[in-house]
Amino acid sequence: MSPRDKTASRDSRSSTKTARKSTVLDIGRPVTAAASKPRPATHLNVEAPTIAKPRITPGKNTKSVFIKTYGCQMNVYDSERMADVLAPIGYAAVDKPDDADLVILNTCHIREKAAEKVYSELGRIRQHKERNKPDMKVAVAGCVAQAEGAEIKRRAPVVDMVLGPQTYHKLPEMIARVSRETGDVLETEFDTIEKFDALPAGRQAKGYSAFLTVQEGCDKFCTFCVVPYTRGAEVSRPVEQIVAEARSLASQGVREITLIGQNVDAYHADGPDGAEWGLGELIRHVAKIGGIDRLRFTTSHPRDMDDGLIETLSTEPKLMPYLHLPIQAGSDRVLHAMNRGHSYAHYRDLIAKVRAARPDIALSGDFIVGFPGETDEDFEATMNCVREIGYASSFSFKYSTRPGTPGATLPHQVPEAVKSERLKRLQDLLYTQQREWNESLIGKTLDVLVEGHAKEPGRLFGRSPYLTGTHFDGPDDLIGQIVPVTITSAGVNSLVGALV
């Protein structure tokens, strides 16, 4: 999970808000579909690229596409929708690039030197294409494509298409233009609503848990982050689109949906009742869909967490007791330099409200150490924040410059050795808290959504309500079910239990 956030008024939302009216939908049960049972899902490691799994076996009249995904859940979702867009024109996803007719790199620009990693990968692809597959087409998608644009075409002539996060619905048109040899294709304009309007209403589920994008973009302009420049302004999808996609997932056996967005709690759209809905209302609406037993949301911003959403945490039984709410630093001086728009006291008060509403909540956070100008005292404020709040899980990183962001040109950059030492101290504390949280679950019986097989023979793997990976012995016919498991032991990253 990664930090996602030039100063902008909250009123700027109104310029991006969709003007559509939602219609009242019968969402009591999922639509029926002759879809095959979804495959067991595996846990996303956001620090490593993922490969889109085959959906159908390429046949005589199909072409193959290899999609490699870097970064967060938003990119995983986008890659799945690229496959959906390409399927009607005969492309089947494969898990190796060797014989692919089309290779897509769906990129992330959050980490330092992310673009260079893409160029290295493109070098390997070029060699393979020249030696083995001269007719292969190559596309670069995602945030690096949005940020680098024409530079990618200049540095890597092997690339046929460059498309930003809001233009992948144009892939069939772009492929046709390349096939007609009408010139290079560069599509990096922002047009989020058009994108979602053009996507198929349904999608093929890959497991029993799925991501569903409800909001994109960011208006916060944190000084360390490129997202406002690569994903654009905050835009929310219409309620009826979200419901239609959720019903499609439910009809294929999906039991758990995670509503995702760069700032998901900034969601706002017209509800079927004519009122403006926030994320809390949307969650309660989606919860009515038959077959969907669990809901989650990520990633939230403290500036957008409102009382309505907190109340939903308390009152909606399908909403799992897990909240990812990044703070980044515990020092108000550093938070101001980051342009986070909130203080530590504001964050602390939010957490108190959340815990009053949902006492069993598992809290997750993001932290950046070594932001320009961070002193020893500032870092200690972050450590004190962690001690006071307490986290069940976390993501922590050394600050790295993102070209084009205000933070990259700030004075008083912190030496690398100091950042490394601070990160180790912080992670030692965070991992201790994570282990203590997991150990507090020993002896409790938790409902676990069984996603598939564990690495150990005869064992199954699933997710607890707190999103923790859980291993236990059980028969294969439990895959896709929610079963009670009593926790018998715990580590830093996972739980072990026994089927009840």
CB atoms within 10 A of CB 173: 12
Tell me, what's the pLDDT at 77?
83
Q: Cα separation of 232 and 228, whole Å?
A: 5
Among positive and negative, which fits the CA dihedral 287, 291, 295, 298? negative
Tell me, what's the pLDDT at 5?
38
Is 225 assigned to a binding site?
yes
Considering the four listed CATH numbers 2.30.110.10, 3.30.2420.10, 2.60.120.10, 2.40.50.140, the one that applies to the domain covering 445-499 is: 2.40.50.140
Q: Following DSSP, what letter does each residue of 169-204 receive, concatenated?
A: GGHHHHHHHHHTT---EEE----HHHHHHHS-S---
Domain residue ranges in the chain: 1-38+205-315, 44-192, 321-440, 445-499
Tell me, what's the pLDDT at 181?
66
Q: Cα separation of 168 and 107, whole Å?
A: 13
CATH architecture classification, 1-38+205-315: 2-Layer Sandwich (3.30)
Is 385 assigned to a binding site?
no
Q: Cα separation of 459 and 471, whole Å?
A: 7
pTM: 0.70
Q: Look up the CATH number of domain 44-192.
A: 3.40.50.12160
One pLDDT digit (tens) per residue for the chain, 500 residues: 433 333 333 333 333 333 333 333 344 444 433 334 444 444 444 345 555 554 444 455 578 999 998 877 777 888 888 888 888 788 888 888 888 999 999 888 766 566 677 888 899 999 999 998 998 999 998 887 877 777 888 888 899 988 888 777 788 888 877 877 655 566 655 555 565 565 666 677 889 999 999 998 888 999 988 777 777 788 899 999 999 999 999 999 999 999 999 899 999 999 999 999 999 999 999 999 999 999 999 999 999 999 999 999 999 999 999 999 999 999 999 999 999 999 999 999 999 999 999 999 999 999 999 999 999 999 999 999 999 999 999 999 999 887 778 888 899 999 999 999 999 999 999 999 999 999 999 999 999 999 999 988 889 999 999 999 999 999 999 999 999 999 999 999 999 999 99
Task: Report the length, in residues, of the chain.
Answer: 500
Class of domain 321-440: alpha beta
Q: Name which of 386, 387, 392, 316 is nearest 361 in CA terms.
A: 392
Tell me, what's the pLDDT at 7?
35
Structure tokens at 127: 């060699």
Tell me, what's the pLDDT at 93?
85
> Do 321-440 and 445-499 come out as alike in CATH topology?
no
Tell me, what's the pLDDT at 46?
39
Tell me, what's the pLDDT at 53?
53
